Chains A and B, each alone.
Chain A
């Protein structure tokens, strides 16, 4: 080839060859793609899955642009807005249309020491797009202080507390719940993805090896899997998180949580992989491949894995919501993110008191987000399963 390439006409032939090769690849791609396209078409038929997919996309977009979409930061505390209900957004001031705006609050206390928020209707504070607020870093890189929307405080008399718009109300420290949910989703939606990926890799490799080779390797791996999966998670979490030293950075807490989550969840998946391997291994096509001299690794990846893809997808999509909940459970036990960093689990942990449920029910809004994410992943998984089903 090297020698031939020196000649111009033959060079043309080489180009031709390349073109042909490209075409062949394209065709091959088409064949494989068509299968995926078929799956895609099937997926589209599953309406709930489509809706779920859109919701998940929205949630992840929100997480990606959290700093920008959220009107406030994690450290924008406020005494006035402590436990404030969701803002009332007005359009008419003294009978006149002035666009969306909010009124500032006057604070009073009733006989039960309950805080009463009374709107002071003297002056409207308009809600505007691209308002300057607390600084943040977009994608963790670009510094900015422009937020998608916010209250224009230009008319604020000096010495007065800043007027805020809080779509979902405020927490005890007066922080905007909407902003915290968005920023918290950066942790809560990515830990499960990463965690599932890690446990997926572990499960396929370990489960595959165990199921394919069998024998002593299988026995040993099975004991380990059984040991881990029958171990109650509560003490495991307590012990592992007690090992997290104080004062480590938020990023490292994040990584540690991810690793803990995936270490706990891989055995279940590995069991599924192994049991499928066990039944597929004896199929004729595996024997055929083996006789043809295909390497073990290739048999596993090329022939066996696709055979139980649908099961893996079901388990994976079940695994992600499980991890979302796992993260919240860890936070419930006080083992999650540390303030001011936040996650959905932290938010749920904060709202789980009777007085919040009774008097500040808006603090339960994060439950809707957790629920939505969990359900969406489940239904998407369902749709994928149906679509990937090789028998239909």
Chain B
């Protein structure tokens, strides 16, 4: 891997900008493979495949002009659609590679809003095409929004209640927050309007200043090919009288899909979720992605799933060469981490993440062919933090878990150095679960809070909140006013990964009279939904609670540490379905979150910043998730022949993981 200074990057961007002006019509070049097909008449010429010259996207994150050809070998597992997907996906708006948290247009050519941010206008690229050659227009976006991603709406665009008679869920069954605003306590869905083939507007009932960021997180693919999906989407009566969208019933749609996809879905709802949401599972679905599948074997262990160059891809490099450079990306489907390690050690993978434990095993034998490239993460902790459910069903335990002294005792009773030396091979360092240096919310005081190993003080703290304990070997403290042991049942999904943590915590907490039990529950995430998880290991990894709040603010039924508080909020602040009403600092978190959501007008940035700071302050005060070690960077083992693989990029969900590598501009120097 060639190291490139930021100076070079600046130069490259400069050159790119120069070329944007100079690239004219008829000056585009294409891969030899495609040129051959054009010659044979199997493919239209490159100019017809690309958008019009003024609308072609010149990839700004291009690192160097490359050569065509070659296949990049990576690996994933048989449920890895979210793993290999980001390598090739293309969002309407995407986060910039620089980690600033800002959004730039990608599939869209441009976007802007009116003054109060109630109407957003989005411009598309003229002449852009789906991978089957069909034009991509505003119709594809409006169709997707109206018929696939929204649930049934009342005439005023409030959603029909879930349990109402005749309820009609969205095709993909997923309501996206990015399309809704809350006004006077009611949720309103946005309205999409086509202006012309390459322009559409999104109108909200109230200001939506963060719409582009929200889309980039929530529903970055706000488009699907209408010409393809109209055969599989049953039409909601009365929504449209569009003659290009024939009226078909659910049964017909299901039969069509089963026939064309070669599957046996047994009902419309499963089918729609499968092809509407996980559309990239199927090679048959036209895409805007840089590489497209030829077979559906991504879930077959031991096989090679190949993603080949999209001949209609709509980006070029600064020299006018149509991207991508690579002929294909080959994804080797491997489930067992040990097999991946062996393949890595044998140098058979071009780009692959290194497990910390395997570092020496895979880096040493590949010294002459591969290099290590590191990316940073936004993790609050290395590996695992301990989250005690604040709404634990057992009321005595809940009282304990909510007591900051209990959490402090648990935090300081652990010898973090031992954890680091044993579990992390000494590669990490002790710290609390908190944003790392450089990340938003970084606070050195928070990072070291309750991290000093002090069993004596932990015992003193616990003496205040439990029955007296004689510290006899093999006995445990009793909860205040009861004859029951102070005990934490930690739910884990995979003992072979989390077992050693449990072992060390068990031993550490025995010394303070706290019993730790492990409960193997492969469906921990689901158990959290029903508030059945008392404690679990949890990771926090976020850019900002303003962009992605659900890990640290109880705003949906999702996370283990806040349990049923999230359910309460998700259900519209009601305890009817098992939600629990928060009080104190948790309620403060929700207040801050709502303030961020409602923020508008000239002071918006300031209100958001203040409330984000408040959320962090509350977490620092309470340490709801106890962290032990600092996160490690994400290490990649990269073949030296691979060019343009960036260094020091941030790896996180919001930034779409590997999408930041901009696979379309990778090339092989072989």
Chain A interface (Cβ within 8 Å of chain B)?
75, 77-80, 82-83, 107, 109, 112-115, 135, 172-174, 246-247, 334, 338-340, 349, 352-355, 358-359
Min C-beta distance of B353 to chain A, whole Å? 15
Partner of A79, one of B422, B494, B503: B422
Q: SS class of chain A's interface: helix, strand, loop or mixed?
A: loop
> Known contacts A113-B359, A114-B360: does B342 contact A354 (CB below 8 Å)?
yes
A113/B420 in contact, CB under 8 A = no
Partner of A172, one of B363, B423, B519: B423
In the complex, chain A residues whose CB is within 8 Å of the CB of B495: 334, 338
- Report how far A107 CA is from B427 CA in the complex, Å: 13
In the complex, chain A residues whose CB is within 8 Å of the CB of B361: 354-355, 358-359
Partner of B345, one of A77, A173, A339, A354: A354
B338/A247 in contact, CB under 8 A = no
Partner of A246, one of B422, B426, B427, B517: B517
Min C-beta distance of B361 to chain A, whole Å? 4
- Report how far A358 CA is from B503 CA in the complex, Å: 25
Kindly report which residue of chain A lies nearest to residue B360, judged by CB atoms. Answer: A112
Min C-beta distance of B221 to chain A, whole Å? 37
A354/B341 in contact, CB under 8 A = yes
- Report how far A47 CA is from B504 CA in the complex, Å: 46
In the complex, chain B residues whose CB is within 8 Å of the CB of A349: 496
B162 near A: Cβ within 8 Å? Answer: no
B426/A115 in contact, CB under 8 A = yes
B15 near A: Cβ within 8 Å? Answer: no
Min C-beta distance of A168 to chain B, whole Å? 18
A77/B489 in contact, CB under 8 A = no
Q: SS class of chain B's interface: helix, strand, loop or mixed?
A: helix
Kindly report which residue of chain A lies nearest to residue B420, judged by CB atoms. Answer: A79
> Known contacts A77-B504, A79-B417, A354-B341: does B519 contact A247 (CB below 8 Å)?
yes
What class of interface size applies to chain B in its complex with A?
35 or more
Chain B interface (Cβ within 8 Å of chain A)?
337-338, 341-342, 345, 356-361, 363-364, 415, 417-418, 420-423, 425-427, 473, 489, 494-496, 499-500, 502-504, 506-507, 517-520
In the complex, chain A residues whose CB is within 8 Å of the CB of B499: 339
- Report how far A26 CA is from B342 CA in the complex, Å: 67
Min C-beta distance of B360 to chain A, whole Å? 4
In the complex, chain A residues whose CB is within 8 Å of the CB of B489: 246-247
B342/A173 in contact, CB under 8 A = no
Kindly report which residue of chain B lies nearest to residue A108, judged by CB atoms. Answer: B426
A340/B341 in contact, CB under 8 A = no
Partner of A353, one of B357, B504, B506: B357
- Report how far A135 CA is from B473 CA in the complex, Å: 10
In the complex, chain B residues whose CB is within 8 Å of the CB of A339: 499-500, 502-503, 506
- Report how far A359 CA is from B345 CA in the complex, Å: 13
A246/B338 in contact, CB under 8 A = no
A359/B360 in contact, CB under 8 A = yes
In the complex, chain A residues whose CB is within 8 Å of the CB of B341: 353-355
- Report how far A326 CA is from B440 CA in the complex, Å: 52
A75/B345 in contact, CB under 8 A = no
In the complex, chain B residues whose CB is within 8 Å of the CB of A113: 356, 359-360, 425, 427
> Known contacts A112-B360, A334-B496: does B520 contact A77 (CB below 8 Å)?
no
A75/B507 in contact, CB under 8 A = yes
In the complex, chain A residues whose CB is within 8 Å of the CB of B359: 112-113
A109/B496 in contact, CB under 8 A = no
B507/A246 in contact, CB under 8 A = no
> Known contacts A173-B500, A354-B341, A355-B358: does B421 contact A80 (CB below 8 Å)?
yes
Partner of B504, one of A83, A109, A173: A173
Q: List 13 A-B contacts (CB under 8 A).
A: A79-B415, A79-B420, A80-B421, A109-B426, A115-B426, A173-B422, A173-B503, A334-B520, A338-B495, A338-B518, A353-B338, A358-B345, A358-B361
